[in-house]
């Protein structure tokens, strides 16, 4: 009896199966993909990328009537869903990794693009035999993977590595095109779209739209004092009102002459990764423009789960709206920490001390 009821229940809700599988799969990736430099996860993603390329080549040859194997021809529908599975796994992972590295504003546009591609792959899988769609999508997935994989391998990041990631993905896409079409002229005809996608990625990189993976700002705040105590950092800030129980720093800084304002940041970087990080202290003027008053740097060494911790500080600060932009040596934005400086006639008595 219960088996019949269970089968009837599954039959009634079969149409919701793909949506449930999508939600569960994305939730699983969000929980399990904790570190972008984990070799096991990256090897799985590399396997997805190579496997999707092989299956796309088979589908493309079948579409061009160049596939002779009856065994493979009978399984084209299964292979279409295989492409859907591999590309979905890649895009889902990219959403998790790039979202963790996204700062604010423009970089979230790229994360939104990844989400859109992931949803399109999930709910329009029946279109995944069109080579005009598959080849640019394959190039995009390859470039997005190599953008963070190459810096992890080489243990540094730069604009040259980003360009190299795109060029290597173009080479892989070119090999895929040759495997499908067999002759150079036909393969070249489908290349303008991946090249246009590459141009868009370059524009997005130099416009701060693409997040600076594999680096990520894990934590950041404004404090009255920051000092290292053993293996931890002691941070001190004014105790917030009870109704702001979630605050763990002092974003409205009560300032008196002689005070120092500290900016503390924890930045995740892959193991053995070294990068110089800059704090841009910026003040908003009367016209609403942000003026950089100080640029202070320190070196980040990767490997720590909670991020490499560091801080800068500033004295003789004027009242008004301020922010600290955390950037890489090349100027890539990791995050912004806004705060307001208000004049005070006495220093706060209720202070809170925490260790990070």
State pLDDT tens for residues 283-318.
999 999 999 999 999 999 998 988 999 999 999 999
How does 241-273 read in b/e, with b if 16+ C-beta sit within 10 Å? eeeeeebebbbebbbeeebebbbbbbbbbbeeb
Residues 48 and 191 occupy one common structural domain: yes
The structural domain count of the chain equals 2
Q: What tokens does 239 get?
A: 């105790």
Most confident among 21-30, 72-81, 220-229 (mean pLDDT): 220-229
Residues 225 and 305 occupy one common structural domain: yes
**pLDDT band at 279; cut points 50, 70, 90:** very high
Contact 179, 78 (CB under 8 A): no
Residues 46 and 158 occupy one common structural domain: yes
Residues 202 and 220 occupy one common structural domain: no
Q: Is residue 23 part of a domain?
A: no
Which CATH number covers residue 244?
2.60.40.10
Residues 222 and 202 occupy one common structural domain: no
Q: Is residue 130 part of a domain?
A: yes
Q: What tokens does 261 get?
A: 């304002």
Residues 305 and 177 occupy one common structural domain: no
Instruction: State the average pLDDT over residues 270-289.
Output: 94
**Of the residues 188, 206, 224, which one is the last residue of a structural domain?**
206
Residues 229 and 165 occupy one common structural domain: no
Q: What tokens does 154 get?
A: 């080489």
**Of the residues 146, 174, 206, which one is the last residue of a structural domain?**
206
DSSP state of 155: T
Residues 223 and 317 occupy one common structural domain: yes
**Of the residues 180, 206, 232, which one is the last residue of a structural domain?**
206
Q: Which domain holds residue 272?
A: 216-355
Q: Give me the pLDDT at residue 64, please.
A: 75
Q: Is residue 19 part of a domain?
A: no
Q: Is residue 15 part of a domain?
A: no
Q: Is residue 194 part of a domain?
A: yes
Residues 169 and 237 occupy one common structural domain: no
Residues 171 and 297 occupy one common structural domain: no
Tell me the residue ranges of DSSP E strands in the chain.
Answer: 216-223, 225-229, 232-238, 252-255, 260-268, 274-284, 290-301, 308-315, 320-328, 333-343, 351-355
Q: Considering just the CA atoms, what is the radius of gyration of the chain in Å?
A: 25
Residues 196 and 242 occupy one common structural domain: no
Of 1-5, 227-231, 352-356, least confident by mean pLDDT is 1-5
Residues 151 and 277 occupy one common structural domain: no
* pTM more than 0.75: yes
């Amino acid at each position: 009896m219960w088996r019949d009821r269970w089968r009837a229940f599954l039959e009634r809700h079969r149409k919701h199966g793909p949506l449930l599988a999508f939600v569960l799969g994305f939730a699983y990736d969000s929980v399990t993909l904790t570190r972008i430099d984990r070799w096991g996860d990256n090897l799985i993603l590399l396997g997805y990328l190579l496997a999707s390329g092989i299956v796309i080549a088979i589908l493309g040859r079948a579409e061009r009537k160049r596939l002779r194997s009856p065994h493979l021809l009978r399984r084209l529908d299964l292979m279409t869903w295989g492409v859907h599975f591999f590309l979905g796994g890649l895009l889902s992972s990219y959403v998790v990794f790039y979202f963790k590295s996204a700062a604010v504003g423009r970089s979230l546009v790229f994360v939104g693009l990844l989400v859109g591609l992931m949803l399109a792959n999930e709910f329009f899988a029946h279109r995944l035999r069109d080579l005009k769609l598959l080849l640019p999508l394959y190039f995009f997935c390859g470039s997005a993977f190599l953008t963070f994989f190459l810096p992890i391998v080489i243990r540094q990041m730069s604009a040259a590595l980003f360009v190299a990631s795109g060029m290597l993905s173009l080479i892989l896409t070119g090999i895929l095109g040759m495997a499908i079409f067999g002759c150079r002229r036909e393969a070249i005809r489908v290349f303008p779209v991946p090249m246009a996608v590459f141009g868009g990625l370059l524009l997005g990189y130099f416009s701060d739209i693409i997040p600076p993976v594999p680096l990520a700002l894990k934590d950041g705040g404004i404090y009255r004092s920051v000092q290292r105590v053993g293996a931890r950092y002691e941070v001190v800030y004014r105790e917030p009102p009870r109704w702001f129980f979630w605050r763990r720093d002092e974003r409205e800084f009560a300032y008196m002459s002689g005070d120092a304002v500290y900016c503390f940041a924890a930045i995740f970087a892959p193991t053995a990764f070294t990068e110089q990080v800059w704090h841009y202290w910026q003040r908003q003027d009367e016209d609403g423009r942000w003026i950089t008053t100080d640029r202070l740097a320190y070196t980040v060494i990767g490997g720590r789960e909670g991020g490499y911790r560091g801080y800068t500080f500033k004295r003789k600060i004027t009242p008004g709206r301020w922010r600290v932009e955390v950037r890489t040596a090349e100027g890539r934005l990791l995050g912004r920490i806004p705060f307001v400086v208000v004049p005070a006639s006495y220093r706060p008595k209720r202070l809170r001390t925490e260790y990070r």
